[in-house]
Every structure is written in structure tokens, then in C-alpha cells.
């Protein structure tokens, strides 16, 4: 019983730490997307390579943190005799309650907002790159099309 009580306190606290780390990494990712946009505007191809390497590293870190989050959620589901698929951050926050539950709810909302911002910024950059490629292809076509005499 003591083991279960300590786990019930430790697991949500550990989840808060993971959620904080996820949020921090998402903020860094958003910053990299801003830098990417600026590098595209400046045609700084060397900078784009650095940024893409940074994005790949962050994606690996985010993936690792998300796996750790899923593992913790699974442990909580097991502790509470629930199916892991039925346990969400919202249900954990509700079950834990109090200050910890409130913090989990705020973190979930903040993460959802950051993820939406990443998607929106990434879509904008993708669109910008697509338009730039179209322009470059058209410019090359015009450049290499022989003039008719």
C-alpha cells in the first residue's frame, strides 16, 4: 500500500517534469521555425542546413519524451487498473486533482497551443518553400529557353 501511495505521488510529478520538457522543446522548435523563415528570406542556404539539423535533433528529443510520457501514462493506468488507451492527460488531471491536477490541465492546454502554433508556422514555411520552388523552376525555364529568331 505504501508503494502504491508513493507511486501515485511520484508518477504525476514525473509527468509534470516531462510535460515541462516537452513544452520547452516545442518553444525551441518554434524559434527554429522562425529562424528558418528568416533564412529562407535571406537565401542563407548554409543556415538552413544548420536549422534543419537542429530541427531533426529536437524531433528526436520530442519523440523520446513522448515515449516516456506514454510509458508513465501506462504505469498510471496499471496502477489504477485501467486500460492504458482510456487514460488521457485530462483523466489523469481529474483523478489526481488538486494543485497537481490543475497544473497538468494547464500544461495540456499550453502544449496544445504550442503544437497548433508549430503546425501553423510549419505550414506557412512549407507554402513559402513551395512558392519559391515554383518561382525558381519558372525562372530556370525562362533562362534556358532559347529565344526564337
- Give pLDDT tens digits for 93-126: 999 999 999 999 999 999 999 999 999 999 988 8
* pLDDT single digits (tens) 26-78: 999 999 999 999 998 888 888 989 999 999 999 999 999 999 999 999 999 99
Q: How far is CA 37 from CA 26, 30, 31, 57, in A?
A: 17, 11, 10, 18
Q: What angle do CA 58, 117, 94 make, to 5 degrees?
A: 90
The pTM for the full model equals 0.81
Rounded to 10 degrees, the C-alpha dihedral 83/88/89/93 comes to -70
SS3 148: coil
At what angle are helices 45-79 and 2-42 packed, to 10 degrees? 160
Amino acid at each position: 500500500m505504501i508503494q502504491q501511495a508513493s507511486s501515485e505521488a511520484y508518477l504525476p510529478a514525473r509527468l509534470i517534469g516531462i510535460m515541462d520538457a516537452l513544452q520547452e522543446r516545442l518553444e525551441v522548435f518554434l524559434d527554429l521555425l522562425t529562424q528558418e523563415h528568416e533564412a529562407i528570406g535571406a537565401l542563407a542556404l548554409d543556415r538552413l542546413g544548420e536549422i534543419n539539423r537542429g530541427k531533426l535533433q529536437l524531433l528526436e528529443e520530442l519523440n523520446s519524451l513522448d515515449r516516456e510520457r506514454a510509458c508513465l501514462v501506462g504505469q498510471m493506468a496499471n496502477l489504477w487498473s485501467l486500460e492504458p488507451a482510456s487514460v488521457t492527460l485530462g483523466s489523469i488531471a481529474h483523478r489526481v486533482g488538486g494543485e497537481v491536477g490543475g497544473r497538468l490541465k494547464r500544461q495540456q492546454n499550453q502544449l496544445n497551443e504550442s503544437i497548433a502554433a508549430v503546425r501553423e508556422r510549419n505550414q506557412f514555411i512549407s507554402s513559402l518553400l513551395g512558392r519559391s520552388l515554383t518561382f525558381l523552376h519558372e525562372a530556370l525555364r525562362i533562362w534556358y529557353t532559347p529565344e526564337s529568331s
